[in-house]
Amino acid sequence: MAIALPAPRIIPHRGVDDDSGSIEVWFADGRKSVRFYWDNLVSRWLSPNKLTREQAIEKATALARAEMDKLDNPE
């Protein structure tokens, strides 16, 4: 009997204001979390990989869904 791991968790983290932060995808199997950093004020973007809050949520959700699909449909 296989033991099912819990689904990945999506954890929001706020920055110093409500216009920035990150979305963390946490894995129960011990893998390193993945963070999607966001800032809604484009003028503050110092890195080309910054996202808006909505984009970060979409990417984190897509990653979590893909990982859940792997758990539901093992090879």
Question: In the numeric block, which tokens belong to residue 75?
Answer: 């090879």
List pLDDT tens digits, range 9-52. Answer: 999 999 888 889 999 999 988 899 999 999 888 777 677 777 89
Rounded to whole angstroms, how far apart are CA atoms 68 and 73?
9
Count of domains forming the chain: 1
Residue at 3 is within a domain: no
Residue at 1 is within a domain: no
Domain that holds residue 15: 9-72
Residue at 50 is within a domain: yes
What is the average pLDDT across 57-64?
96
Residue at 2 is within a domain: no
Q: Is-above-0.75 flag for pTM? A: yes
What values do phi and psi take at 60, rounded to 5?
-65, -40
Residue at 4 is within a domain: no
**Exposure string for 27-43, b = 16+ CB within 10 A, e = fewer:** beeeeeebbbbbbbeee
Residue at 23 is within a domain: yes
